[in-house]
Chain A
Amino acid sequence: SYVLTQPPSVSVAPGQTARISCGGNNIGNKSVHWYQQKPGQAPVLVVYDDSGRPSGIPERFSGSNSGSTATLTISRVEAGDEADYYCQVWDSTSDQFYVFGTGTKVTVL
C-alpha cells in the first residue's frame, strides 16, 4: 500500500517560515492535499491539488510537489498556526484509496 511519511514535529519562531514535508513514492505524479487540525477540532483543508488554496485560507499557506516530496510552506508564521498538519493523496491502487500522512505537529516557539 502507498505510504506518506511526514516529520513528527516542526518548530518555528513567529514571523519565520515553516516547511512541512510529505514523502511518498513518485508523489510528484499525484495530487497532494493538506489539512490543518487544531486540538479538539476537525481538520480544515488548507491546500488542495498541490498548491491550490481554498477560499478563506491565508496566502501565507502554499504548497509544492515534485519528485518524491510534497511540501506545505507556512510563511510569516503566527501563533494561531500551531496545529497538526496532514498530507493526503488519492491512490486507486491502494486498499484504502485515501492515504493520509502520519501528521506533523507544528509548534510556534
Chain B
Amino acid sequence: QVQLQESGPGLVKPSETLSLTCAVSGYSLTNGYYWGWIRQSPGKGLEWIGSIFHTGITYYKSSLKSRVTISVDTSKNQFSLKLSSVTAADTAVYYCARRRRIRGQNYFDYWGQGTLVTVSS
C-alpha cells in the first residue's frame, strides 16, 4: 500500500521560505510516476502547485513558478517543496500525492494526509 506523509513547520513568517517534505512508503520513487504538491486554502478548493519525476524533471503552476522549487531525494524516497517569499495568501493545507496517467490525462491516486501551514508573524 502506497503511503505518503508530509512534514515540516506549521508556522512560517511572512517573506520567509516554506519548506515541506513528503516521505513515501510502499513504493519506490525510482519505479516511476510523477509526484506532486497540491494545496487547499482554508475553506477553499484545491490548487496544484507542481510535480516532479524521480529523475528531477519538474513542472510548476505558472503563477507560482518564480517562487517554487520541488526536489527529490531518491536515497530517502522522499520529495520536497520550497515556496519562497510567502504571504498570508499561502496559508493552506499542503498535500503531496502520486500522479497517474491514462490516455494522456493526469490525475492523483494516492494522497498524503496533508499538513497545515500558517503564514503569520
Q: Which of B9-17, B58-66, B67-75 is near enough to bind chain A? A: B58-66
Give the CA-CA distance A89 to B61 in the complex, in Å: 15
Contacts of A102 in B (CB 8 A): 45
Q: How many residues of A contact B (CB 8 A)?
A: 25
Q: Interface range on chain B: under 10, 10 to 19, 20 to 34, or 35 or more? A: 20 to 34
- Is the CB–CB distance between B105 and A97 below 8 Å? no
Contacts of A103 in B (CB 8 A): 45-46
Whether, in the assembled complex, A2 has its beta carbon less than 8 Å from a beta carbon of chain B, the answer is: no
Smallest Cβ-Cβ distance to A99: which chain B residue: B48
- Count, A-B residue pairs, CB within 8 A: 67
Contact with A31, one of B45, B59, B102, B113 (Cβ below 8 angstroms): B102
The prevalent SS among residues of B at the interface is strand
Q: Which of A70-107 contact B (CB under 8 A)?
A: 86, 88-90, 95-98, 100-103
Contact with B105, one of A30, A44, A95, A96 (Cβ below 8 angstroms): A30
Report the minimal beta-carbon distance from A95 to chain B, rounded to whole angstroms.
Answer: 4
With A42-B111, A95-B62 as known contacts, state yes or no: A86 contacts B105, CB within 8 Å. Answer: no
Interface flags, A32-61, vs B, CB<8A=1, else 0? 010100000111110011001010000000
Residues of chain A touching chain B, judged by Cβ–Cβ distance below 8 Å, are 30-31, 33, 35, 41-45, 48-49, 52, 54, 86, 88-90, 95-98, 100-103
9 interchain pairs, CB-CB under 8 A: A31-B107, A43-B95, A48-B102, A48-B107, A95-B62, A96-B47, A97-B48, A97-B59, A102-B45
